[in-house]
Amino acid sequence: MMRSADLFREAKKVIPGGVNSPVRAYQSVGLEPPFIAKAKGARVYDEDGREYIDYIGSWGPMILGQADQRVCNAVMEAAKDGLSFGAPTAREVEMARLITKMVPHVEMVRMVNSGTEAVMSAVRLARGATGRDKIVKFSGCYHGHSDPMLVKAGSGLMTAGVPSSLGVPEKAAEDTLTAEYNDLSSVRELFERYTGEIAAVIVEPVAANMGVVPPEKGFLSGLREICDQSGALLLFDEVITGFRLSKGGAQEYFGVRADLVTFGKIIGGGMPVGAYCGSRALMETVSPTGKVYQAGTLSGNPVAMAAGLAQLKILDGHPEIYEHIDNLAQRLENGLQSLVEKYRIPASVTRCGSLCCLFFREGGVRNYPEAQQCDTALFARYFKGMLRRGIYLAPSQFEAIFIGDAHTESDIDKTLQAADETFAEMKAEGLF
């Protein structure tokens, strides 16, 4: 019985590529995806009855582990009172107050329904508040799929607005300037060339959509300085790092203040939620108090708020969770590093907090061009070996390994054992 294979065949008839988000199709590893039937704690179970140790965690949200009883109970309680009102509710107030308490420099919060929506809205706010149009982003950083964010570096740092998707008009992308991650001089060059035109610099404080690339010392504080000197806003896209690096996110973890912060993933506890936040002055430029329009029929949805609130309250009340997940990630990092040395694999391990990555490139990865030099064929071979041994990694070289509170030392050790066996096979095949 191969239910996943049957389902995938049926799915491809009625859903483009069989999936509702492209990475799920397993294209970059040349396999077909297992269909997931259920999950609990650090385990996911597929439709074929196989069990895996989960390192995706729904791409970050499930920091407490899957189907956490406290979060699920909150959802079921909320559902009894109605699924959606499109009207103000007490939970939204509690949610906004909790976020302003947990996250430094945040005075007001607007809830939305995804990370994409959060970034799209925050970018509009930055433009509206500064009266400027241009946005600086970094190649390899992902900020959702809104038109102006679907831009990669063209042929060089000074190239503006080359859309990386069909259907994005050049006009929608021409105000998006691209700089290199961990390279302040590339940012300064853009500010010199476009003096007084740049509304905001948007950055993933830890780049976690090109693998995991931590910011080098001075990079984020350097961005803060450049923004301060030029009147541009600093926008931290914390859709992954928010409530993960620490309960206050990257601002707290790195001690750098952002003007606008976007959240997603963890903030919804597994439900589709996003938020953008900042100072009162900035946030009050959003409608209905201000002239930057933004709305959402389902925004602040009571069931979604119940899930997010339950998860954030637990994170707020249990700082030891961060110690636990960081320690486990370090155990994984150290273990992978030893294996890289043992088998002399052309690879490097990166980590920041509970985000980890094995890059098949020697000498580390500090930006997108270096990430692109990774041997994705080696990754695909490694991925296959791990999956066969019950380790559920993201099916791409350019995604993070997410550690959550439900993982244990024994999970990490089983994972390292699986990696050891996989690398031994690869060595025997003469791959390194």
Binding residues for ligand PLP, per CB under 6 A?
114-116, 119, 142-144, 204, 209, 237, 239-240, 264, 274
Using Cβ positions, the residue closest to ligand PLP within the complex turns out to be: 115
The least CB distance from residue 338 to ligand PLP, in Å, is 29
Nearest CA-CA partner of 402 in 174, 204, 240, 218: 240
Complete DSSP assignment for 236-254: EE-TTTTTTSSTTHHHHHH
Cβ partners under 8 Å of residue 168, min gap 6: 147, 150, 151
Catalytic residue, from 68, 237, 259, 375: name it.
Answer: 237
Q: Which structure tokens are listed for 380?
A: 């695909």
Q: Check if 276 is active-site.
A: no
CB of 118 to ligand PLP, least distance (A): 7
From the list 405, 409, 382, 406, the residue with the least C-alpha distance to 394 is 382
Distance from C-alpha of 346 to C-alpha of 279, rounded to nearest angstrom: 46
Instruction: Pull the structure tokens for residue 133.
Output: 């149009």
Minimum separation from the CB atom of position 242 to ligand PLP (A): 9
Distance CA 401, CA 358 (A): 9
Measure the CA–CA gap between 216 and 222, rounded to whole angstroms. Answer: 10
Asked if residues 48 and 34 have their Cβ atoms less than 8 Å apart, the reply is yes
Report, in Å, the least distance between residue 299 CB and ligand PLP: 14
Q: What is the nearest approach in angstroms of ligand PLP to the Cβ of residue 119?
A: 6
Annotation marks residue 237 as catalytic: yes
Select 301 or 422, whichever has its Cβ closest to ligand PLP: 301
Nearer to ligand PLP, 118 or 184 (CB): 118
Rounded distance, CA 423 to CA 386, Å?
A: 10
Active-site residue identified among 26, 52, 55, 142? 142
In the complex with ligand PLP, the residue whose CB is nearer, 21 or 155, is 21
Find the distance separating the first CA and the last CA of the chain, reported in whole Å. 36
Catalytic residue among 137, 152, 247, 265: 265
CA-based torsion, 112, 168, 30, 139: positive or negative: negative
Cβ proximity to ligand PLP: between 312 and 416 the closer is: 312
265 catalytic per annotation: yes
CB atoms within 10 A of CB 140: 24
CB of residue 245 to ligand PLP, shortest distance in Å: 13
Task: Name the minimum Å distance from CB 89 to ligand PLP.
Answer: 22
Cα–Cα distance measured from residue 309 to residue 294, given in angstroms and rounded to the nearest whole number: 23
Instruction: Kindly tell me which of 128 and 274 has the beta carbon lying closer to ligand PLP.
Output: 274
Which residue's CB is nearer to ligand PLP, number 39 or number 266? 266
Residues 6+ apart with CB under 8 A from 264: 114, 115, 116, 118, 239, 242, 273, 274, 275
The Cα 107–Cα 74 span in angstroms is: 26
> Which CB sits closer to ligand PLP, 22 or 369?
22
The residues annotated with a catalytic role in the active site are 142, 237, 265
